[in-house]
Chains A and B, each alone.
Chain A
Amino acid sequence: MTYPPDPDDPAPPAGAGVRPFLHTSSPWGYQPEPAFPPAGPPPGEETTTLRPFVITAGRVSGPDAEIGLETQVTARPGAMMSRLSPEKRAILALCAEPLSVAEISARLGLHLGVTRILVGDLRADGHLDVHVLDNDFPDPQTIMRVIRGLRAIS
């Protein structure tokens, strides 16, 4: 059963942490207006994943320009995994066999730019090998092998 509000009563506090003048029915009549739409994704689109800049500790550009999409990456055996972030550990776990950066990104659901930064970090810390090609463009012999390989497809 509810009683009609008594006009002489002050508005009840909204909760322990809320300053009274921020309460909507405060005696000063202050009505804070949200200047910006509320932060975060709209209702129904909340995710449990971290924002990319959290995973990369704020960095936005990769340390290695030579880490490409198709660049092959392998984990070094015996890498100390215990002090690494879950993302880095997941990368090392995937690259026990040679894997491309794009595949790491797709299989872990990590943004490609984030993956490149993390792979660069792991390489700098000696946890994995990044197999950088010597020449920027494949030589004719390599292209001939690709042509022969594709012709074999039926």
Chain B
Amino acid sequence: MDFEPSPDRIVGTARVPAEPRAAAPPVPVKIIVAGGFGVGKTTTVGAISEISPLTTEAEMTLASLGIDDPGQASQKTTTTIAMDFGCVTIDRTLKLYLFGTPGQSRFAFMWDHLIRGALGALVVVDTNRIDDCYPAVDYFERAKVPFVVGVNMFDGQLGYQLDEVRWALAVRDDVPVVSYDARVRTSVRDALLVVLDRALDRAVTMQAQ
């Protein structure tokens, strides 16, 4: 076996910039893009991000949240999931990050670390598999994060009326249900603006208290 000291390992695609310069870091804000597998989260992030979406791996705690067995201690396990993200530079001192998080399983939404400080969330819905988004809706309702249900129009078509989607999800009346096209930048922008509107409402309420 070869135990010779190896030279420096190449770590990813790290590259030393020509000259380091001290720039003031921008203030980061983030919006979560959540939903089931293949509903268009990465497309949504990629449509508006100024960089092509990057992927990072993270631990997610799977916990049964007391849904099936209230009163019993929930059994937690962790799993590694891939998360896509992108960003939009608002100006030199403000940068918006978009994190696309999976939520396939009913129990896979114990990710308090991710939502800490988040402005709000866009829950992406595919009307063909509407139950895929239940965990996300449950989670954000519980965590009191402002969220908007965004029905992704595949091929520019809306399978069901928004009222029907709202009825199926049983979300509160103050949760907006909007339709958008995840491939179109301006459409994603408008959906995010609805999220920001909700975030602004919450921030003003919090400041008044």
Contacts of A149 in B (CB 8 A): 88, 90-91, 94, 96
Are A96 and B12 neighbours in the complex by a CB distance under 8 Å?
Answer: no
The distance in angstroms between the C-alpha atoms of A94 and B185, with both chains bound, is 29
Contact of B99 among A69, A107, A108, A143 (CB under 8 A): A69
Contacts of B80 in A (CB 8 A): 111
Tell me how far the C-beta of A56 lies from the nearest C-beta in chain B, rounded to whole angstroms: 13
Asked if B138 is an interface residue, CB under 8 A from chain A, the answer is no
Contact of A136 among B58, B117, B207 (CB under 8 A): B117
Are A136 and B26 neighbours in the complex by a CB distance under 8 Å?
Answer: no
Contacts of A68 in B (CB 8 A): 113, 116-117
Stretch at the interface among A1-9, A24-32, A97-105: A97-105
Are A90 and B11 neighbours in the complex by a CB distance under 8 Å?
Answer: yes
The distance in angstroms between the C-alpha atoms of A138 and B26, with both chains bound, is 13
Asked if B67 is an interface residue, CB under 8 A from chain A, the answer is no
Are A146 and B9 neighbours in the complex by a CB distance under 8 Å?
Answer: no
Contacts of A143 in B (CB 8 A): 29, 119, 196, 199-200, 203
Scoring B residues 10 to 40 as 1 if CB is less than 8 Å from chain A, else 0, what string do you get? 0111111101111111111110000000000
Contacts of A124 in B (CB 8 A): none
Scoring A residues 26 to 65 as 1 if CB is less than 8 Å from chain B, else 0, what string do you get? 0000000000000000000000101000000000000000
Tell me how far the C-beta of B8 lies from the nearest C-beta in chain A, rounded to whole angstroms: 5
Are A93 and B14 neighbours in the complex by a CB distance under 8 Å?
Answer: yes
Asked if A147 is an interface residue, CB under 8 A from chain B, the answer is yes
User: Contacts A70-B30, A90-B11: A105 and B56 contacting too (C-beta < 8 A)?
Assistant: yes
Contacts of A87 in B (CB 8 A): 11
How many A residues face the partner with a CB closer than 8 A?
52
In chain B, what residue has the closest Cβ to A113? B59
Asked if B143 is an interface residue, CB under 8 A from chain A, the answer is no
Asked if B147 is an interface residue, CB under 8 A from chain A, the answer is no
Are B189 and A137 neighbours in the complex by a CB distance under 8 Å?
Answer: no
Contacts of A139 in B (CB 8 A): 203, 207
Contacts of A153 in B (CB 8 A): 48, 88, 185-186, 189
What is the total of A-B residue contacts with beta carbons within 8 Å? 165
Are A133 and B117 neighbours in the complex by a CB distance under 8 Å?
Answer: yes
How many B residues face the partner with a CB closer than 8 A?
59
The distance in angstroms between the C-alpha atoms of A112 and B197, with both chains bound, is 30
User: Contacts A69-B30, A72-B28, A97-B21: A111 and B58 contacting too (C-beta < 8 A)?
Assistant: yes
Contacts of A146 in B (CB 8 A): 29, 90, 94, 96, 119, 196
Contact of A131 among B12, B25, B57, B200 (CB under 8 A): B25
Tell me how far the C-beta of A29 lies from the nearest C-beta in chain B, rounded to whole angstroms: 30
Tell me how far the C-beta of A48 lies from the nearest C-beta in chain B, rounded to whole angstroms: 8
Are B11 and A98 neighbours in the complex by a CB distance under 8 Å?
Answer: no
Contacts of B88 in A (CB 8 A): 149-150, 153
Can you list 22 pairs linking A and B with CB atoms under 8 Å apart?
Answer: A50-B9, A68-B116, A69-B30, A70-B29, A70-B95, A74-B25, A97-B20, A98-B24, A100-B87, A102-B83, A105-B57, A112-B58, A112-B59, A112-B83, A131-B25, A140-B203, A146-B94, A147-B197, A147-B200, A149-B96, A153-B185, A153-B186
